A and B are shown apart, each in its own frame.
Chain A
Amino acid sequence: MEFHDQGIIISLRKYGEYDALIDVMTAQHGRHAGLVKGGMGRRQRGTLQPGNEVTLKWRGRLESQLGTFAAELRNARSASFLDYPSKLGVLNSVCAILSVSLAEREEHNTLYEGLQMLLDTLEHAGPEPESWGALLVRWEIGLLAELGFGLDLGCCAATGVTDDLIYVSPKSGRAVSRGAGLPYHDKLLTLPPFLLGGGNVTGNDVRAGLSLSEFFLERYVLFPHNKKIPQARRMLLDFLTV
């Protein structure tokens, strides 16, 4: 068995003395693990850093086997993140979330394209969260939708109105208008305006958006599998200089 694909490295682990076990988010084969011979060696270790985009050749005797990867570097993105704690925080968070939330070998092409766009934006944007935070939140909400837990932010769950939506119901994942939600202010989640396509993105909006996606990720994606939000995702808020 053999296939060729491209992907973004999401984790690298040492296996034996020189080999590496990598987890890659591929374009056509979803999250896919494989062994890289000599992956911890001086020549290949830089290529296999999380966030780097690689061209892959997977080979295994049977489809169900772990198999081996041969990886060639396409884009050394991780190097451009090393100087910025906030960007490294996002990279670690995104990789950790993919590792815990996706089943192996299930194609998620839309998610892959979104990840590519997010990392490209992160590479060229400044370190402040206002320039990439909205995209990060949208990507996480896209991940929820891809896994079958999409939020419905089109109209108010209580009244059906389509304007002045400022809350999200933690029970239904639907938007709630100011009028209907005000008595339950403490129980509802904040809906940042950028998710409805309006307004400038502020640091507080990014934090509100991340809290929103974290709540639904933990409750619907991770909790049923007895998993928790990864530490890297929790540490991300510390790295954000708001």
Chain B
Amino acid sequence: MYRKASYGSELDQLIQLLSKLPGLGPRSARRAALQLIKKKDTVMRPLSTALAEVAEHVNPCCICGNLDTSDPCHICDNPARDHSSICVIEDVADLWALERSGSYRGAYHVIGGTLSALDGVGPDDLNISSLIERVRADNITEVIIATNATVDGQTTAHYITDRLKDTAIMVSRLAHGVPVGGELDYLDDGTLTAALKSRRPF
């Protein structure tokens, strides 16, 4: 039997839209909507303004592909950073993760995914040509490839390394192995194999 919703179409639309967000289903979306209504002045209105501003001003950076309100982004535009080194990442989420760590002070290049034969993603579908042009045009000394440690991620890494072979630039990649705080007993076989292969002298 069709049961009519106990709220109007505007509220229904809000719930429908909220339920499209990652981690939220229809039930959590209803809770979130209710919370927003209860905190109209402190959360709902500022959220609405922030969403409108972000929708209006955020665009991909023309140099690195990062998402920011300014173009070039605040990383590419920052003279204090080391622009001779480029870290190649799959997605903006990876850039944010590296920035959170605070351990890298160079520039980035977001390629926008990985090569995937089965999904039909080829080199032309990724921002690899713009990376090669950038490396050739700017005064770059090192390219750090930080793609994921998956079959697709590493295939992409090898492809980029191959494309950069003609240049005299140092190409490095992230290490694979035991994570900080990781206990060997709980690690999967693949990580242990990679860790053993990449062991180094004490």
Q: Does A81 contact B (CB under 8 A)?
A: yes
Q: Does B181 contact A (CB under 8 A)?
A: no
Q: Does B117 contact A (CB under 8 A)?
A: yes
- Of B119, B122, B154, the contact of A82 (CB 8 Å cutoff): B154
Question: Chain B residue with minimal CB distance to A86?
Answer: B158
A76–B193 Cα distance when bound, in Å, is: 8
- Of A13, A47, A51, A231, the contact of B151 (CB 8 Å cutoff): A51
Q: Are B122 and A88 in contact (CB under 8 A)?
A: no
- Of B118, B161, B162, B191, the contact of A79 (CB 8 Å cutoff): B191
Q: Does A181 contact B (CB under 8 A)?
A: no
Question: How many residues of chain A have a CB within 8 Å of chain B?
Answer: 34
Q: Are B190 and A76 in contact (CB under 8 A)?
A: yes
A75–B189 Cα distance when bound, in Å, is: 8
A122–B141 Cα distance when bound, in Å, is: 34
Give the residues from 30 to 45 in chain A that come closer than 8 angstroms, CB to CB, to chain B: 45
Chain B: number of interface residues, binned into ranges: 20 to 34
Q: Are A95 and B118 in contact (CB under 8 A)?
A: yes
| Distance of A141 from chain B, by nearest CB (Å) | 21
- Most chain A CB neighbours (cut-off 10 Å) among B118, B150, B161, B194: B118
A46–B189 Cα distance when bound, in Å, is: 9
What mask results when residues 98 to 123 of chain B are scored 1 for a CB within 8 Å of chain A, else 0? 00000000000000000001111010
Task: Report the tally of A-B residue pairs with Cβ distances under 8 A.
Answer: 70
Give the residues from 69 to 119 in chain B that come closer than 8 angstroms, CB to CB, to chain A: 117-119
Q: Are A49 and B150 in contact (CB under 8 A)?
A: yes
Q: Are A76 and B151 in contact (CB under 8 A)?
A: no
A47–B158 Cα distance when bound, in Å, is: 22
Please indicate the chain B residues that have their CB under 8 angstroms from the CB of A11 in the complex.
118
Please indicate the chain A residues that have their CB under 8 angstroms from the CB of B199 in the complex.
none
Q: Are A96 and B117 in contact (CB under 8 A)?
A: yes
Given known contacts A73-B188, A91-B151, is B193 in contact with A232 (CB within 8 Å)? no
What mask results when residues 120 to 162 of chain B are scored 1 for a CB within 8 Å of chain A, else 0? 1010000000000000000000000000011100110010011
Given known contacts A81-B151, A82-B176, A91-B151, is B118 in contact with A49 (CB within 8 Å)? no
A95–B23 Cα distance when bound, in Å, is: 32
Q: Does B197 contact A (CB under 8 A)?
A: yes
Question: Chain A residue with minimal CB distance to B188?
Answer: A46
Please indicate the chain B residues that have their CB under 8 angstroms from the CB of A89 in the complex.
155
Q: Are B176 and A73 in contact (CB under 8 A)?
A: no
Q: Does B22 contact A (CB under 8 A)?
A: yes
Please indicate the chain B residues that have their CB under 8 angstroms from the CB of A82 in the complex.
149, 151, 154, 176, 194
Please indicate the chain A residues that have their CB under 8 angstroms from the CB of B118 in the complex.
11, 13, 95-96, 99, 230
Please indicate the chain A residues that have their CB under 8 angstroms from the CB of B122 in the complex.
231
Which 6 pairs of residues, A with B, have the shortest CB-CB distance? Answer: A232-B117, A79-B190, A76-B190, A85-B158, A76-B189, A79-B193
Q: List 24 A-B contacts (CB under 8 A).
A: A13-B119, A47-B188, A49-B150, A73-B189, A75-B189, A76-B193, A78-B151, A78-B190, A79-B176, A79-B190, A79-B194, A82-B154, A82-B176, A82-B194, A85-B158, A88-B151, A93-B117, A96-B117, A99-B118, A230-B117, A231-B117, A231-B120, A231-B122, A235-B117
Q: Beyond the given A46-B188, A52-B190, A78-B151, could you list 16 further A-B residue pairs with CB under 8 A, ordered by the A residue number?
A: A47-B188, A49-B190, A73-B188, A75-B189, A76-B188, A76-B193, A78-B190, A79-B194, A80-B193, A81-B151, A85-B161, A88-B154, A89-B155, A91-B151, A93-B117, A95-B118
Report B's interface with A, CB cutoff 8 A. Answer: 22-23, 117-120, 122, 149-151, 154-155, 158, 161-162, 176, 188-191, 193-194, 197
